[in-house]
């Protein structure tokens, strides 16, 4: 059996008019091939998980989608717009439709919980204060933290900070929400609430979500499909339950945590004995 990553098969054909369409994506960073002519589609109104070993380009892919990083080759289309060719004003307009939950929460340390969530509204919209208040409290209620509105970030646990960051990401009802490691630091109760909220947002508002995460158990509860990235390619693509039972070397190693497989544990290095002067 070949261990080379393959593109999605016809059985995993994308839905018509995907929100995100990527063709021939190629990226090289610091001499390392991150993406090698990658094609993928992310459908509208669905929850798509992006998984893979550390260092395979998951966050880099998000940077391409949001226009923070231009690829060396290929096209990245978001909502019918070629991101690479957008000018500054057009790119900022697109980004205003995207909510981003940062991996480290990225709360403003000098602002209260309320003001952190209100920040995007105050920066981009001219709304009456009563509307700002109602919008912020509504989003804080959704993540279970309305009572923490006046607390400062240093008074929050890691899980609470993540939930505040999520409230901020959804405060403007974006068309796309990108979750970068959204489950880190959450206790089981908060985790289940966040999973329920992610699913509810998609089902009721038609929001499209991308989850960058490693927790397969959580992903299986909420995602419609998974892209497994490895070796600069799409190694596998399909429904969570299908991939969890996959028999390819990539799925077996990644989803079982096996040391032996196509993804090496050791970073490329010179001969060990020679480097120690023993050979």
pLDDT tens digits along 230-245: 888 898 888 988 877 7
DSSP-assigned letters across all residues of 68-85: SS--SEEEEEETTEEGGG
What's the confidence (pLDDT) of residue 15? 47
Q: Is residue 5 part of a domain?
A: no
Q: How many domains does the chain have?
A: 2
Task: Examine residue 275 and state whether it is found in any structural domain, yes or no.
Answer: no
Average pLDDT, the chain: 84
Structural domain includes residue 114: yes
Q: What is the pLDDT of residues 195-251, one digit of tens each?
A: 888 888 888 778 899 999 888 888 888 999 999 898 888 988 889 888 777 667 667
279 falls within a domain = no
Burial 265-278 (b: 16+ CB within 10 A, else e): eeeeeeeeeeeeee
CA distance 118 to 129: 10
Domain shared by 181 and 65, yes or no: yes
The answer to whether 98 and 176 have CB atoms below 8 angstroms apart is: yes
Summarised one tens digit per residue, pLDDT across range 140-185 is 998 889 999 999 999 998 778 888 988 999 898 899 999 988 887 7
Question: Do 181 and 75 share a structural domain?
Answer: yes
Position 83 in a domain: yes
- Residue (of 128, 120, 196, 206) closest to 163 by Cα position: 196
What CA–CA distance (Å, rounded) separates 87 from 90? 5
**Could you give phi then psi for residue 104, rounded to 5 degrees?**
-105, 20
Asked whether residue 53 falls in the same domain as residue 112, the answer is no
pLDDT tier at 6, thresholds 50, 70, 90: very low
User: Do 22 and 51 sit in the same domain of this protein?
Assistant: yes
Question: Both 169 and 179 in a single domain?
Answer: no
Q: Classify residue 89: in a domain, yes or no.
A: yes
- Nearest CA to 186 out of 225, 213, 224, 151 is that of 213
For 133-142, how does the pLDDT look when each residue is reduced to its tens digit (9 = 90+)? 999 999 999 8
Q: Are residues 93 and 182 in the same domain?
A: yes
End-to-end C-alpha distance for the chain, whole angstroms: 36
pLDDT of residue 87: 92
Neighbours of 80 (CB within 10 A): 8
28 and 49 housed in the same domain: yes
Phi and psi dihedrals of 202, rounded to 5?
Answer: -70, -40
115 and 243: one domain?
no
pLDDT band at 258 (very low <50, low <70, confident <90, very high): low
Shared domain check, 22 and 85: yes
Residues 51, 116 within the same domain: no
Same structural domain for residues 126 and 255?
A: no
Confidence of residue 70 (pLDDT cuts 50, 70, 90): very high
Q: How many residues are there in the chain?
A: 279
Mean pLDDT over 120-137 rounds to 92
CATH code, domain with 83? 3.40.50.300
- The pLDDT score that the predictor gives to residue 255 is 67
Q: How far is CA 15 from the centre of its chain?
A: 20
Q: How confident is the model at residue 193 (pLDDT cuts 50, 70, 90)?
A: confident
**Are 143 and 210 within one domain?**
no
The domain of 235 spans 15-97+175-187+206-259
- Give percent above pLDDT 70 in the chain: 86
pLDDT at 76: 95
């Amino acid at each position: 059996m070949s261990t080379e990553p393959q593109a999605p098969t016809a059985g995993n054909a994308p839905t018509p008019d995907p929100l995100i369409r990527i063709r021939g994506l190629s990226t090289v960073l610091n001499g390392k091939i991150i993406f090698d002519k990658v094609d993928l589609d992310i459908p509208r109104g669905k929850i798509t998980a992006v998984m893979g070993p550390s260092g395979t380009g998951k966050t880099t892919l998000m940077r391409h989608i949001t226009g923070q990083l231009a690829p060396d080759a290929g096209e990245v289309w978001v909502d019918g717009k070629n991101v690479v060719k957008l000018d500054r004003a057009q790119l900022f307009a697109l980004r205003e439709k995207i909510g981003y939950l940062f991996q480290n929460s990225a709360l403003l340390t000098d602002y209260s919980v309320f003001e952190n969530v209100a920040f995007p509204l105050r920066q981009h919209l001219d709304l009456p204060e009563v509307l700002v208040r109602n919008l912020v409290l509504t989003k804080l209620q959704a993540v279970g933290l309305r009572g923490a509105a006046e607390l400062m970030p240093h008074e929050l646990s890691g899980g609470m900070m993540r939930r505040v960051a999520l409230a901020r990401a959804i405060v403007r009802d974006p068309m796309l929400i990108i979750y970068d490691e959204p489950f880190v630091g959450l206790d089981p109760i908060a985790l289940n609430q966040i999973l329920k909220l992610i699913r509810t947002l998609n089902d009721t508002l038609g929001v499209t979500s991308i989850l960058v995460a490693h927790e397969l158990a959580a992903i299986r509860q909420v995602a419609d499909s998974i892209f497994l990235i490895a070796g600069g390619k799409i190694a596998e693509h399909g429904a969570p339950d299908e991939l969890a039972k996959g028999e390819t070397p990539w799925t077996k190693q990644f989803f079982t945590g096996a040391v032996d497989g196509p993804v090496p544990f050791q970073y490329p290095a010179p001969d060990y004995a020679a480097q120690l002067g023993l050979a």
